[in-house]
A and B are shown apart, each in its own frame.
Chain A
């Protein structure tokens, strides 16, 4: 059983992909949750369904749909291609896959926090002269802080474990797009890779437990406050 340089890279890549996906998802997730809680428009239910879809779709399906969308021939892929950006088979594709698959978890968590805000605080804020954006930044954002933290840690953990969608849009290129779960799958499917697979599993477990512990701590503190 040996640890190849690409295995270390897989660990680093997993953390990098998770971190970038989380940072990218936060503003989007906050906005999505805001729309669902405070928005007044037609088709809200439809939007809610759409946001939750990746939660119930098999990740492989999400991966396939993303491939159709951002692939070289896909509508978005073509646009990006014209701008000289290629997503597919790069680490960005892994970020995208994580982002889409983990998005519902993030939105759900932020949304719960937003729904818990006393509406009178928002009314008070408006009557004291805060416009909708001002109110969002100075009242809603700080008061949903815990939901944002809890959602981010859950999202990050989910991102560390993302496999099905990633392996389709990013491939499993060691050192480039092969994240920890992909490397584990690779080793587990080879006759002499069992030892390394188990070792990487252990790393994965330790990493995920650490993140979930953080998540629980945030939740517990939320209850205490």
Chain B
């Protein structure tokens, strides 16, 4: 997908100015609340009208102020998934799913109900009314409804924000699965760095109505880690564990990680905050932290008031953060070897 935007829109005291050309199948739009993310989504979908500029999606002009082109939303084929599912309360799940499908021109219709219902686990729910569904089920129906419209672009506007942590991580695989399986490019809107990294390959950063940067989600997470309460979240792929002395030992990077809070004794992804990693210049003789990993410093980077340290841990990457003074004192420079100490309780299952 290739998206070319040149937009200006004033709404009272707020003004939105975006000049952006991006391509990719999994795009992100990141920014704090009030930065204009949802307004931009509305402009893209044709729900509101820019004051000036143009929108071109895959070579097709959706809006052009000069040429007086303004396709109505129903002809843009951009489907939306909202934070609040927005399911039609008077229709059952099947009718909701088919709402966009029926309205999609036959020539462009390439996704069928059975397949989507199957992928999203909605088959047993087809006859239900939306009011009877749980939050996660509703969001899956909303996603399925959007996908079934065979859109040229799927906009997901904070689709996970209304869900609790647990549910959120269970929905994310569905979101990724659906876009890959049905090859629908999407624009994922969120204020969560972690969601951006899990969902997107390219992120546009919006602040106070202005486009700040277009970066990879990884870069963005590193730049912002100093401002995030949770720091940078390392995502570690671990193998199936074995039991040892009341802890679980997960294979990782040629060695093992000892985790205490492992509710799921199986392979998968675990989270580790950059704040939970303690760096030691020499091997500490006595320490309560269960994991002590020898690493090589790849490089240092500036992250606001903190300094980020990218470590090579037997080929795998770990990001730790320290205050600039500590970097100086410990003489941490690229190439130096160092010990990373991590408590067994610092990990979280994703």
Contacts and interface: CB of A to CB of B under 8 A. Distances in A.
Given A124-B80, A124-B82, A130-B74, 12 more contacts: A118-B86, A123-B42, A123-B73, A124-B88, A126-B74, A127-B80, A127-B149, A128-B99, A128-B103, A128-B145, A134-B103, A138-B99
B65 to A, nearest CB: 19
Top 4 A-B pairs, shortest CB-CB distance: A129-B103, A128-B100, A126-B73, A120-B86
A138 B46 CA distance: 20
A131 interface: yes
Contacts of B79: 127-128
Contacts of B86: 118, 120-121, 123-124
Interface string B59-94: 000000000000011101111101010101110000
- Chain A interface size band reads 10 to 19
A126 B99 contact: no
B197 to A, nearest CB: 27
Nearest to B77: A129
Interface in A3-61: none
Interface in B95-113: 99-100, 103-104
A121 B78 contact: no
Contact of A123 (B47, B88, B103): B47
B117 interface: no
B90 A126 contact: no
- Chain B interface size band reads 20 to 34
Contacts of B279: none
Contacts of B77: 129
Q: Which of B76, B77, B86 counts the most chain A CB atoms within 10 A? A: B86
B156 interface: no
Interface string B138-158: 000000011001000000000
A128 B103 CA distance: 7
A143 B104 contact: no
Contacts of A130: 74, 99, 103
A75 interface: no
A130 to B, nearest CB: 6
B73 A127 contact: yes
Given A123-B80, A124-B82, A125-B99, A131 B88 contact: no
B45 interface: yes
Contact of B72 (A118, A123, A131, A142): A131
Q: Which of B46, B73, B78 counts the most chain A CB atoms within 10 A? A: B73
Contacts of B76: 127
B88 A121 contact: yes
B78 A127 contact: yes
Interface string A124-167: 11111111001000110011010000000000000000000000
A191 B27 CA distance: 86
Interface in A78-126: 118, 120-121, 123-126
A131 B47 contact: no
Contacts of B84: 118, 120
Nearest to B99: A128
A124 to B, nearest CB: 4
A139 B91 CA distance: 9
Contact of A142 (B78, B90, B100, B145): B90
7 contacts: A118-B84, A123-B86, A126-B47, A127-B46, A127-B76, A134-B103, A139-B88
Q: Which of A118, A124, A131, A134 counts the most chain B CB atoms within 10 A? A: A124
A125 B146 CA distance: 10
B149 A143 contact: no
A129 to B, nearest CB: 3
B143 to A, nearest CB: 12
A223 to B, nearest CB: 15
Interface string B211-235: 0000000000000000000000000
Contacts of A129: 74, 77, 100, 103-104, 149
B45 A123 contact: yes
Nearest to A117: B89
Q: Which of A123, A129, A131 counts the most chain B CB atoms within 10 A? A: A129
Nearest to B76: A127
A134 B104 CA distance: 13
Nearest to A129: B103
Nearest to A145: B90
Contacts of A124: 80, 82, 86, 88, 145
Contacts of B103: 128-130, 134
A40 to B, nearest CB: 11
Contacts of A126: 45-47, 72-74
A127 to B, nearest CB: 5
A152 B86 CA distance: 28
